[in-house]
């Protein structure tokens, strides 16, 4: 049975898996809804997007995704408010970043209507899957990869853009202890660090595993040149509070331009919190930890939302962060999630209703 909504063809799944899902005990990104959006690029153009039953993808072994790493993705969430209305948070920012990533990875840019109409239609079809319980949300994973074939190191001639949905709980359970990295690096100057491409993640797994063996959940990456400045934490941007000043590194070609990051900066300003976007040296963070002026560190990202850091390790020493009653992290997390779940006024115009 096919239907059409917002110019998007819908092929409905014959049965639903929703009855098998325990919505009170969701992990992150491991259960998928009944449908997905698929859009194919071939003969030099994007074909019309379709909502189809969630299903396996079949590829030739010579498909370039297996060999040359042309893959990009986005992370978004859909929020259901108390009245059952469904909201997205700054979706056009994700769309723009997807195309920025696509350009850097020599992949075709996607038309805005295919992204927005496709996503909206998919969310409407699977709206029963959007959790309403606190701390849960529907994680949205738009991704694009090279599906064209050939063992020649050059861009593919065919691509697939897919949106899949995963009802999810928290990304981190509990507080996060991080290691400030001195040996390995995430990104090169003039490289692809700012793009949300698969290789940026795979490259972090081994150093992150080494850090995990020492008891750290995440690595804070520093510049690959001298490891002097804090860059980002791979799955999130990093904020540092010294006394009452909130600091974060400027984005550049090595650092992801996080949507949560820039929203946090706007909310902080709105709250009258002093912010500075500038290079943050490891040295000043260590000194601030030693002299007691380091009040907070936290990560910010779509999956992680705002994740307080409980301690950081550097050169074999662990530095604990204080537990604050009135932390910037809790204030900013409350403000941003209140906007996302439609529990507060949206003075920035960030909410986007899915109708």
Measured from the CB of residue 108, what is the shortest distance to a second copy in angstroms?
A: 12
Measured from the CB of residue 30, what is the shortest distance to a second copy in angstroms?
A: 5
Closest CB to a second copy among 48 and 57?
A: 57
> Which member of 224, 257, 266, 346 binds a second copy (CB under 8 A)?
224
Closest CB to a second copy among 17 and 347?
A: 17
Residue 2 interacts with a second copy (CB under 8 A): yes or no: no
Residue 200 interacts with a second copy (CB under 8 A): yes or no: yes
Interacting residues of 216 by C-beta distance below 8 A, sequence separation 6+: 177, 178, 179, 313
| Size of the residue set binding a second copy (CB under 8 A) | 73
DSSP state of 251: P
Measured from the CB of residue 110, what is the shortest distance to a second copy in angstroms?
A: 16
Site string for a second copy, 7-36 (x = CB under 8 A): ---------------------xxx-x---x
> Which member of 68, 79, 194, 350 binds a second copy (CB under 8 A)?
68
> Which member of 33, 50, 51, 71 binds a second copy (CB under 8 A)?
71
Interacting residues of 175 by C-beta distance below 8 A, sequence separation 6+: 307, 308, 309, 310
Distance CA 70, CA 117 (A): 24
Beta strands in 148-290 (DSSP E): 159-168, 176-180, 218-220, 237-242, 245-248, 274-277
Instruction: Provide the 10 A C-beta neighbour count for residue 34.
Output: 19
Please answer whether residues 259 and 302 qualify as being in contact, where contact means their C-beta atoms are separated by less than 8 angstroms: yes
Residue 302 interacts with a second copy (CB under 8 A): yes or no: no
> Which member of 42, 209, 269, 347 binds a second copy (CB under 8 A)?
209
Residue 192 interacts with a second copy (CB under 8 A): yes or no: yes
Instruction: Give the DSSP H/E element, type plus range, for residue 89.
Output: strand 86-89
Residue 151 interacts with a second copy (CB under 8 A): yes or no: yes
Please answer whether residues 268 and 276 qualify as being in contact, where contact means their C-beta atoms are separated by less than 8 angstroms: no
Pairing verdict, β 294-301 and 305-314? antiparallel
Residue 54 interacts with a second copy (CB under 8 A): yes or no: yes
Part in contact with a second copy (CB under 8 A); list of ranges 148-156, 255-263, 268-276, 311-319: 148-156
Residue 100 interacts with a second copy (CB under 8 A): yes or no: no
Measured from the CB of residue 125, what is the shortest distance to a second copy in angstroms?
A: 16
Whole-angstrom CA distances from 187 to 5, 48, 100, 195 are 41, 35, 17, 10
Smallest CA-to-CA distance from 42 within 157, 120, 172, 209 is with 157
């Amino acid at each position: 049975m096919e239907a059409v909504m917002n110019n998007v063809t819908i092929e409905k799944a014959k049965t639903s898996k929703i009855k098998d899902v325990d919505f009170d005990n969701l992990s992150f990104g491991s259960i998928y809804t009944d449908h997905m959006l698929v859009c194919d690029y071939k003969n030099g153009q994007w074909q019309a997007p379709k909502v189809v039953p969630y299903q396996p993808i079949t590829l030739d072994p010579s498909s370039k995704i297996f060999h040359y790493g042309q893959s990009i993705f986005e992370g978004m969430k859909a929020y259901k408010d108390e009245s059952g209305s469904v909201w997205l948070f700054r979706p056009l920012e994700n769309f723009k970043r997807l195309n920025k990533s696509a350009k850097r990875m020599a992949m075709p840019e996607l038309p805005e209507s295919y992204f927005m109409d496709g996503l909206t239609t998919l969310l409407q079809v699977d709206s029963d899957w959007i959790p309403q319980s606190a701390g849960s949300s529907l994680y949205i994973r738009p991704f694009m990869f090279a599906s064209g074939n050939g063992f020649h190191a050059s861009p593919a001639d065919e691509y697939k853009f897919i949106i899949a949905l995963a009802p999810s709980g928290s990304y981190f359970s509990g507080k996060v202890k991080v290691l400030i990295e001195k040996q390995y690096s995430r990104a090169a100057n003039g490289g692809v660090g700012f793009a949300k491409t698969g290789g940026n993640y795979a490259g972090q797994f081994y150093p992150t595993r080494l850090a995990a063996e020492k008891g750290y959940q995440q690595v804070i990456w520093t510049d690959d040149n001298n490891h002097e400045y804090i860059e980002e934490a791979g799955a999130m941007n990093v904020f540092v509070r010294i006394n009452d000043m909130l600091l974060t590194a400027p984005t550049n070609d090595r650092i992801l331009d996080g949507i949560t990051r820039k929203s946090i900066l706007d909310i902080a300003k709105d709250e009258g919190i002093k912010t500075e976007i500038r290079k943050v040296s490891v040295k000043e963070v260590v000194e601030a930890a030693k002299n007691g002026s380091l009040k907070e560190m936290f990560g910010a990202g779509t999956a992680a939302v705002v994740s307080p850091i409980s301690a950081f390790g550097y050169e074999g020493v662990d530095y604990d962060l204080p537990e604050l009653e009135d932390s910037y992290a809790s204030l900013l997390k409350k403000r941003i999630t209140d906007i996302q779940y439609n529990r507060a006024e949206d003075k920035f115009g960030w909410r986007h209703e899915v109708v």
